[in-house]
Structure 1
Amino acid sequence: YPALHPDYLVCNNGAVVVNNKREFLASLCLPQETVKGLLRMSLVRQTKNPMRLLTETDMYLLDTGSTIEFGLVIPMETLSFAEAEAMEKVVQISMRCESVEEAEAVTAEVTKTHPDLIGNINRNYIDFNLKEANKRDGLRRLLKVTGWQPEETLFIGDDQNDLPAVKYFHGYTVETAESFMKEAATAVYPSVGDMLLAHL
């Protein structure tokens, strides 16, 4: 989005925080042994769904043999699993599943084997990050740097990976969100834009 010039970005479920000079204010990289261990799990290695690996600065597709699009139009280089295992400064490994239920089951299996990881679920997609990486804590890291207060923060989200931040910041959700998000939210809006117009 070249027309946007944000002061800060909180990315990868809070794993990476950067300023407008592209300086890293936070970066929660996965230990290389964790990356290898996750990528060698049979339920990951045998998937026929698309997967992505994200480092601090780049995004790659993993060669799973999938013919399904990941859902992003950004061109990405494809890595073999062996190449992915050797990558440094990995902040996230993402995986598409067939359903929310499968995403929850895969997350439970991975986090049982790798308790230092969290599965941030958004519909039928999972983002595996370090346990400390979530949107709530990513924003809290940003607030610590800026001196902004939680009550000055507007947060809106629509799925499980947004829930801790919605609760902490007394945030909002959209009409298309599941009922558990609407119950947790302070208010429900038709869109992100509607929420911003109501508060700015």
Structure 2
Amino acid sequence: MIKLVVTDLDGTLLNDQHEVPKRFWDIASRLFRKGIKLGIATGRPHFSITENFPPIMAHVYAISDNGSFIMHDKREILSKPLPHEEIAPLVNTSRGITGTYPVLCGKDYWFLECEDKVLLEKVLIYQKNIKIVEDLTKVEEPILKMSVLDLKGADHHSFPHYTQFADRLKVALGGALWVDVTRTDANKGEAVQMLQQLTGTSPDETLVFGDFMNDYEMMKAAKYSYAMKNAYPKILEAANFVTEKDNNEEGVLDVIEALCL
């Protein structure tokens, strides 16, 4: 019996227009009526979850910033900011790579150094609360995640530059154009394990969905780990199952109905 369902958003539950499927709301209500817990695990900020899921925020476990921040019913469960001394080296690395933009992701705001149109277009998909600052290395607020927008493609262009941090930080591909950096103990898999402890749920009673490398650890935290049909190849390998339909065909919802409802 499934007692906990955790899903990624972009490329997973949401379609390519970043929209929540209309039949999701009925399925969520049915899950809650059966006593099944629901978590949303995303690289997006907490604001983006509250913006897109206001009717169910009192019930959902909101895992944001790749597992660096967890909220439930307006209560902060977990916060794991990056070590402050790592911010400047991370930002300066991006400054040395053409076609990239560093973004610092705080609890309430994302901090940018410029207002380039292409940067704003990409960022505003995920976070409306932004602050433009002269120098990101001078930001004093706690930073949950550092992201790099790479217009040339993150996998082969900017990601290799960040492997130098892999001995002390978690570096992951957050999407085709994004590199995400968090603490090593801040990832979606660790977050799912925390929810399992909080809710008295075992990995054998957990169902998770993901599509990209920031979902990798989550695939290892559940017996019923589903990679999306449209997932990155390494996620397809890591998951125990693969959805029959992709994110534009509501593949997540079909599996939830089949296994839980």
Same fold (TM over 0.5): yes
1:14 aligns with 2:64: no
SS at match of 1:9: strand
CA deviation vs aligned residue, 1:2-43 (integer Å, no higher than 9, x gap): 2232332111111111111x222111111221223322x2x3
Which amino acid in structure 1 is aligned with residue 83 of structure 2?
P
Which amino acid in structure 1 is aligned with residue 94 of structure 2?
V
Name 1:184's counterpart in structure 2.
238
Name structure 2 gaps, 5 residues minimum. Answer: 1-51, 246-250
- Between the two proteins, the alignment pairs up a number of residues equal to 193
SS at match of 2:172: strand
Name 1:141's counterpart in structure 2.
194
Q: In 2 relative to 1, CA 88–71 (structure 1 residues): closer, same or farther, beyond 3 Å?
A: closer
Name 1:54's counterpart in structure 2.
105
Q: In 2 relative to 1, CA 84–4 (structure 1 residues): closer, same or farther, beyond 3 Å?
A: farther
- Residue number among 223, 226, 241 corresponding to 1:172 in the alignment: 226
Which amino acid in structure 1 is aligned with residue 87 of structure 2?
V
1:176, distance to aligned residue in structure 2 (A): 0.9
Per the normalisation by structure 1, the TM-score is 0.84
SS at match of 1:128: strand
CA deviation vs aligned residue, 1:141-176 (integer Å, no higher than 9, x gap): 222223222222110111111122113313001111
- Residue number among 147, 152, 161 corresponding to 2:214 in the alignment: 161
CA distance in 2, matches of 1:104, 1:121: 7
Which amino acid in structure 1 is aligned with residue 237 of structure 2?
E
CA distance in 1, matches of 2:252, 2:71: 22
Q: In 2 relative to 1, CA 164–127 (structure 1 residues): closer, same or farther, beyond 3 Å?
A: same
Native 8 Å contact 2:188 2:218 kept in 1? yes
CA distance in 1, matches of 2:134, 2:196: 37
Per the normalisation by structure 2, the TM-score is 0.66
Native 8 Å contact 1:120 1:134 kept in 2? no
Q: In 2 relative to 1, CA 32–180 (structure 1 residues): closer, same or farther, beyond 3 Å?
A: closer
CA deviation vs aligned residue, 1:48-92 (integer Å, no higher than 9, x gap): 434332223x13241246431225334232332535532322111
SS at match of 2:254: helix
SS at match of 1:176: coil
Which amino acid in structure 2 is aligned with residue 196 of structure 1?
I
SS at match of 1:78: strand
Native 8 Å contact 2:94 2:100 kept in 1? no
Name structure 1 gaps, 5 residues minimum. Answer: none
CA distance in 2, matches of 1:182, 1:75: 32
User: For 1:123-142, what aligned pairs fall within 5 Å after superposition?
Assistant: 123-142=176-195
Native 8 Å contact 1:26 1:141 kept in 2? no
SS at match of 1:102: coil
Name 2:113's counterpart in structure 1.
63
Q: CA RMSD in A?
A: 2.2
CA distance in 2, matches of 1:54, 1:71: 11
Native 8 Å contact 2:188 2:215 kept in 1? yes
Q: Which has the higher contact order (CA 8 A, sep 6+)?
A: 2
1:198, distance to aligned residue in structure 2 (A): 1.9
Native 8 Å contact 1:119 1:127 kept in 2? yes
CA deviation vs aligned residue, 1:115-159 (integer Å, no higher than 9, x gap): 432112123311111111111011112222232222221101111
